């Protein structure tokens, strides 16, 4: 941690480990769910923007739970110890996109789209990030309302910090490449 603090002078916007995956299809990310009420959903903005930039990335496959058995992984250490909000493991399946194997060009395209998304995320005009965050808020409220059998209008005034987002995700055990 001291080495990191001495060498990194500015903010680290994303930390991203790159892995291959054998069980899930497409490209997706594992992130870390932020419990700070003022930052709810912020960790989901970058992956959501990535999904908007390329059809090969599936936001719906992203997971943000932090499992105890994964606490030694790079993304969780960088998130917990170094305070990097956007700390991810990006997984590319060995099987490819829609059952078509990835080739080198596909993986290069993912790198391009990652960088393009980073530029969008860091744009001095915050409107792109604000739009995605507002959309994510609507989606989460709708999912939570459906899970509780309530209408969206019944939850519109409930603060985000009172909603348990982790219950909205399926558990797939996480990546087997970082065990």
For residues 41 and 160, the answer to whether their CB atoms sit within 8 Å is yes
Pairing type for strands 14-21 and 86-93 reads parallel
3-state DSSP assignment of residue 9: coil
Sign for the CA dihedral angle at 108, 109, 114, 118 comes to: positive
33 carries an active-site annotation: no
Helix (H) or strand (E) holding 98: none
**Catalytic residue (choose from 11, 91, 108, 130):** 91
CA 174, 163, 42: angle at the middle one, nearest 5? 65
Closest residue by Cα to residue 64 from 139, 143, 170: 170
Cα–Cα distance between 16 and 53 in angstroms, integer?
17
Which amino acids are annotated catalytic? 91
């Amino acid at each position: 941690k001291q080495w990191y603090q001495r060498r990194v002078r500015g903010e680290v916007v994303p930390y991203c480990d790159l892995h291959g995956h054998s069980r899930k299809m497409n490209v997706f990310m594992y992130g870390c769910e932020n419990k700070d009420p003022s930052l709810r959903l912020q960790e989901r903005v970058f992956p959501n923007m990535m999904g908007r930039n390329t059809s090969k990335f599936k936001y719906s496959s992203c997971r943000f739970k932090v499992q105890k058995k994964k606490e030694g992984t790079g993304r969780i250490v960088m998130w917990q110890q170094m305070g990097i909000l956007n700390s991810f493991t990006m997984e590319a399946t060995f099987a490819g996109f829609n059952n078509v194997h990835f080739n080198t060009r596909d993986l290069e395209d993912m790198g391009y789209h990652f960088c393009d998304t980073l530029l969008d995320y860091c744009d001095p005009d915050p409107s792109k990030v604000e739009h995605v965050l507002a959309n994510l808020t609507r989606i989460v409220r709708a999912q939570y309302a459906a899970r509780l059998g309530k209408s969206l209008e019944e939850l519109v005034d409930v603060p985000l910090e009172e909603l348990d987002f982790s219950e909205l995700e399926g558990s797939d055990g996480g990546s087997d490449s970082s065990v």
